[in-house]
Amino acid sequence: MVVVVAVALAAVACGGSGGATTTADTAVDPLTITVPPSKIDPNLPVEPGIFRVVGRPSMTLGLLRVAGMHGLLGQQGLSTRITEVPTASAVGSELQDGTVDAAIVTSDEAVRLASSGLPIRTVMLLTAGTSNYQILARADVADIPGLAGQDVAVSQGSEGELLVQGALAADEVTSSTVRVVPANGLDPGLMLVQGEVAAAAVTATQAVAAIAADPTLHVLYTAGDYPGLISHVLVVRQDVAAQRPGQILAFVRSWQALYGFNRDQQDIVIADVAKVTDADPAIAAVDLAGLSLYDLAANAVELLPGGEYFDQTIGVVVAAAQAAGWITEPIDGQQLIDGSFVQAVASAR
- Per-residue pLDDT tens digits for 207-224: 999 999 999 999 999 999
Query: What does the pLDDT read at residue 25?
Result: 36
State mean pLDDT over 331-336: 96
Give the dihedral of Cα atoms 61, 65, 68, 72; nearest 10 deg.
-50
Q: What confidence score (pLDDT) does residue 170 get?
A: 87
Residue 200 has pLDDT above 80, yes or no: yes
**Domains, the chain, ordered by start:** 3-130+228-348 (3.40.190.10), 133-225 (3.40.190.10)
Cα angle vertex 30, ends 26, 33, to 5°?
A: 75
Contact 341, 40 (CB under 8 A): yes
CA distance 73 to 2: 21
Q: Quick one: angle between helices 204-213 and 281-289, nearest 10?
A: 100
Distance CA 319, CA 232 (A): 18
Query: What is the distance, to the nearest Å, from the Cα of residue 101 to the centroid of all Cα atoms in its chain?
Result: 19
Q: How far apart are CA 27 and CA 21, in angstroms?
A: 6
Judge contact between 204 and 131, C-beta under 8 A: yes
120-129/231-237 β-pairing: antiparallel
pLDDT band at 23 (very low <50, low <70, confident <90, very high): very low
pLDDT value at 18 more than 50? no
Average pLDDT of span 42-59? 96
For residue 4, pLDDT beyond 50: no
Q: What is the pTM of this model?
A: 0.85
Per-residue pLDDT, averaged over 101-127, amounts to: 97
Confidence tier at 36 by pLDDT (50, 70, 90) = low
Q: What is the mean pLDDT of the chain?
A: 89
Q: Is residue 180 helix, strand or coil?
A: strand
Of 308, 255, 231, 215, nearest in space to 76 by CA? 255
Q: Does residue 346 sit in helix, strand or coil?
A: helix
Residue 97: CB partners within 8 Å, gap ≥ 6?
A: none
Q: Is the pLDDT of residue 330 over 80?
A: yes
pLDDT band at 34 (very low <50, low <70, confident <90, very high): low
pLDDT tens sequence across 144-186 = 999 999 999 999 888 999 999 999 988 899 989 999 999 998 9
What CA–CA distance (Å, rounded) separates 45 from 42? Answer: 9
Identify the three-state secondary structure at position 127.
strand
Q: In terms of DSSP bridges, do strands 3-4 and 151-154 run parallel, antiparallel, or are they unpaired?
A: unpaired
Q: Which residues pair with 339 in a beta bridge?
A: none
